[in-house]
Amino acid sequence: MGFYFVAVGSAFGLGNLWRFPFIVSVNGGGAFLFVYIFAALLVGMPLLVGEFMLGKVMGKSSTAALNIRSWRLVSRFAGALCLIVLAYYAVISSWVLHFVMQLSVRSLEFGQIDPKVILEALRQNGLLQVALVSVHLLITTLVVLKGIELGLEKWVSYIMLIFVVLLIFLLVHTLSLPSAGAALRYLFYPDFTKLGWPSLMHALGHVFFTLSLGFGTMVTFGSYLRQEELLPMAAFRVTLLDLLVSIAAGLLVFPVLLGDPNVQAGPEILFQSMPVLFQQTRHGSLFGIAFFLCAYLGALAASIGLFETIVSNQMDQLGISRTRACWRGFLVGLGLAIVPSIVSLEFRWQQWRGQDVLRTIDDILVNWLLPLSVLAFCLHIAYCLPKSSQQKEFSYEPSALTLFGHWRFALRLLVPALILIALGLQIWGCL
Ligand code: TRP
């Protein structure tokens, strides 16, 4: 259980709840979902098997895994990416935290909740933004420092259970809205004319982000796997669960988007649409607080996964103690998080190729840097691990031999080719 716990815990998070509806909405709906599901199964799953395998082979954290110079470069790059994503993630987590607090206060006052006003209040107040980011990073640091002793993992499983029940309840509600039919058509009817040049990369980038691929995290967690565990099965379960939660988030958000002209596609879609939904529900403010609280705990679990990767890499690379690595991580993370907070404030209305600053940062991280890191991981696993140890770790069952052949083909040819094609299309679209 321990393994599924950390692997699913770091896959599930704001990537599913916040980023998935946002990225589907800017790529036009159904056709994108279609491409995304293919990308998750054909590219994400084999890569997940590969990262788990690498961790299992070496039984140590990602930096110690392959002792060649090019690998050291890759894991440095992945480590830097972890830090930057931690900072960016902290900003969005702070929005969620802000919503939990605002919804709690306003429900006590029985006041009207206008999601736009709540979010604007935060995005115009740099000091508040930085304060919330600091609180979030501090909680993350303390949990990584002390959490294992306190047995916090046990609580996360209860929270996940509550969240699933909450999600099902809310789904019943949104699917009975008048715009539900249009939302289902929007989400599941593929209209391929809506896809653009960068859509393939957007789908792949989001698969990498949501499955935490290319960060070294899943390599570390692979080393927790028991010897007799079947890698393809483990990867399939994690991918499927992640996909289901993302689609559930889409089903929650899109009926509201299509039914309310005030809600716009883009990074703020989750924050704009969910409060609208809660206003139409009985005891909605309670559900609202519960939803954003669960979302925050999911964001916290993912931040812990990122932070743990950074800390264990630093301990390996620099030979420093856990405590020191934690506080260093905290300070650097905070320093980096101030940048997106201030930038998204100061250059709020600045546009770059039709996107605001926050979306530009997101785009550079997820659609340009992350694919490069994933490509490097993929090539190392496919070409630097000896075939015999790949086969040994893949599965002990003789019947899995054909599957092993397919996996090897995917990692050696299909996945690198698709990433390069997607990058090519994206560059073409920029010209
Ligand atoms: N997968 C997480 C999500 O969907 C975000 C994430 C990206 C992450 N990289 C990570 C979490 C590394 C833990 C570790 O929200």
pLDDT in tens, 132-167: 999 999 999 998 888 666 666 677 677 778 888 988
Mutate which of 77, 95, 215 for ligand 1? The one with the most ligand atoms within 8 Å of its CB, which is 215
Question: What is the chain's mean pLDDT, rounded?
Answer: 87
Angle at 426 between CA 213 and CA 302, to 5 degrees: 25
State pLDDT tens for residues 186-236.
999 988 888 999 999 999 999 999 999 999 989 888 887 777 778 899 899
* Residue 302 near ligand 1, beta carbon < 6 Å: yes
Mutate which of 19, 47, 84, 85 for ligand 1? The one with the most ligand atoms within 8 Å of its CB, which is 85
* Residue 274 near ligand 1, beta carbon < 6 Å: no
Residue 29 has pLDDT above 90, yes or no: no
Helix 322-346 and helix 126-150, axial crossing angle in degrees, nearest 10: 160
The dihedral through the CA atoms of 11, 12, 18, 24 has a sign that is positive
Q: What confidence score (pLDDT) does residue 410 get?
A: 96
Closest CA to ligand 1's atom 14: 306
Give the span between the Cα atoms of 351 and 339, in whole angstroms: 17
> Which residues, at least 6 apart from 271, have a Cβ–Cβ distance to it below 8 Å?
18, 95, 99, 115, 118, 119
Concatenating the DSSP letter of every residue in 77-104 gives: HHHHHHHHHHHHHHHHHHHHHHHHHHHH
Give the span between the Cα atoms of 347 and 427, in whole angstroms: 25
Mutate which of 5, 6, 8, 10 for ligand 1? The one with the most ligand atoms within 8 Å of its CB, which is 10
Most confident segment among 2-6, 58-62, 391-395: 391-395
- Are the C-beta atoms of 266 and 87 separated by less than 8 Å? no
Concatenating the DSSP letter of every residue in 172-235 gives: HHHTTSTTHHHHHHHHHS--GGG--TTHHHHHHHHHHHHTTTTSSHHHHHHTTS-TT--HHHHH
* Residue 14 near ligand 1, beta carbon < 6 Å: yes
Kindly report the length of the chain: 431
Q: What confidence score (pLDDT) does residue 123 get?
A: 79
Higher pLDDT pick, 298 / 419: 419
Confidence class for position 61, pLDDT limits 50, 70, 90: very low
For residue 402, give both structure tokens: 């054909």
Q: What confidence score (pLDDT) does residue 2 get?
A: 62
Neighbours of 376 (CB within 10 A): 18
For residue 189, give both structure tokens: 């009817």
Percent of the chain whose pLDDT exceeds 70? 91
Angle at 257 between CA 253 and CA 258, to 5 degrees: 120
* Residue 6 near ligand 1, beta carbon < 6 Å: no
Closest CA to ligand 1's atom 6: 212
Closest atom of ligand 1 relative to the 89 alpha carbon: 5
